[in-house]
């Protein structure tokens, strides 16, 4: 039986321009390609979790417009429960403008629209779904009041909660006490700790500092791998080597796949490796939700990566 994952978060339409490099402030750079695709951190995570094998319920708001209707059709194609995706007639659907350089790195600006109106009332309507979930997955592209209430409901019912603190902002002790697992990337960890992360050792120190405020931390460092910290202990999980073309949704795919693997009972390092494989596959494709791999793709990728390399004949 598939494990139940509830994702409460944002839904956007991404408008992506590929350029030779990301422009500096005040600079105009001619683009090479344009892509419009479904995105938003919450929606990306929901889609990633569904494709990784989870039974996903999404709690969100979209506008009563073309983008909102397209988003709903996409969720249904991935068999995501949209009973708690509200249609807002007072705000447009969220939009993200994304510039991607040839190295795969990106710069993103978001107009939240209906996402900013996801309220505690929306969360209360989904209370039974949250209380019966195996994992609750949250991010910070929706109001903190909604995030905090969802985490509190999950904590009262013994539901494991993953918070991806993106975009990074100050987090209260009251919220963090209800979080089972915090999953920042390097830039988010720097904002949350004030520590510069230049290498693996810096990452370990930052993860340990964050672990003092919540139970467990996974700090993702892209191609440099990830650090798991709990109490005073750390564990390093190396990254998979791939050629990146677009890193836009890598963190979202990681979190969606991580939620599924943990819900299925995997130990944290094993779940982190499964999630890292999903994220590695995602950066080899363009777009946010279009890049999320299937469960079969993830398992095959891990199997190929685990095979011993043949020695060249002399």
Residues belonging to the active site:
252
Strands 226-230 and 181-182: unpaired
Q: Report DSSP letters for 60-121, one per residue.
A: EEEESSHHHHHHHHHHHHTT-EEEEEEEESSSPPEEEEEEE-TTS-EEEEEE-GGGGG--HH
Copy the structure tokens of residue 262: 């943990």
Residue 200 CA, distance from chain mean position: 21
Query: Going by DSSP bridges, is the β-strand pair 233-237/226-230 parallel, antiparallel, or unpaired?
Result: antiparallel
Query: What angle, 0 to 180 degrees and rounded to 10, lies between the N-to-C axes of helices 268-282 and 250-263?
Result: 150
Which residues 6+ apart lie within 8 Å of 189 measured at CB?
195, 197, 203, 206, 207, 210, 219
Per-residue CA distances from 245 to 110, 178, 248 (Å): 21, 36, 9
The values of phi and psi at residue 219, to 5°, are -100, 115
Q: Is-contact 253 279, C-beta < 8 A?
A: yes
Task: Give the span between the Cα atoms of 194 and 191, in whole angstroms.
Answer: 5
């Amino acid at each position: 039986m598939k494990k139940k994952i509830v994702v409460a978060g944002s839904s956007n339409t991404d408008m992506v321009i590929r350029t030779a490099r990301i422009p500096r402030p005040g600079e105009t750079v001619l683009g090479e390609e344009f892509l419009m695709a479904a995105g938003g951190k919450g929606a990306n995570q929901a889609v990633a979790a569904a494709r990784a094998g989870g039974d996903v319920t999404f709690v969100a708001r979209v506008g009563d417009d073309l983008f909102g209707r397209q988003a709903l059709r996409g969720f249904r194609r991935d068999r995501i429960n949209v009973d708690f995706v509200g249609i807002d007639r007072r705000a447009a659907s969220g939009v993200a403008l994304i510039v991607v350089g040839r190295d795969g790195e990106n710069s993103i600006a978001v107009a939240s629209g209906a996402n900013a109106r996801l309220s505690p009332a929306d969360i209360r309507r989904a209370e039974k779904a949250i209380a019966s979930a195996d994992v609750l997955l949250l991010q910070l592209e929706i109001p903190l009041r909604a995030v905090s209430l969802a985490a509190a409901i999950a904590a009262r019912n013994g539901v494991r909660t993953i918070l991806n603190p993106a975009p990074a902002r100050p987090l209260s002790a009251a919220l963090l006490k209800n979080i089972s697992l915090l999953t920042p990337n390097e830039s988010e960890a720097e904002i949350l700790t004030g520590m510069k992360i230049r290498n693996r050792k810096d990452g370990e120190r930052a993860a340990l500092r964050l672990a003092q405020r919540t139970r467990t931390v996974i700090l993702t460092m892209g191609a440099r791998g990830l650090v798991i910290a709990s109490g005073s202990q750390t564990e390093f999980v190396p990254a998979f080597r791939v050629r990146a073309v677009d890193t836009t949704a890598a963190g979202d795919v990681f979190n969606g796949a991580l939620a599924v693997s943990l819900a299925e009972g995997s130990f944290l390092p094993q779940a982190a490796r499964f999630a890292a494989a999903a994220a590695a596959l995602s950066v080899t494709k363009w777009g946010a939700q279009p890049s999320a791999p299937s469960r079969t793709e993830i398992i095959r990728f891990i199997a190929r990566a685990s095979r011993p390399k043949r020695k060249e004949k002399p």
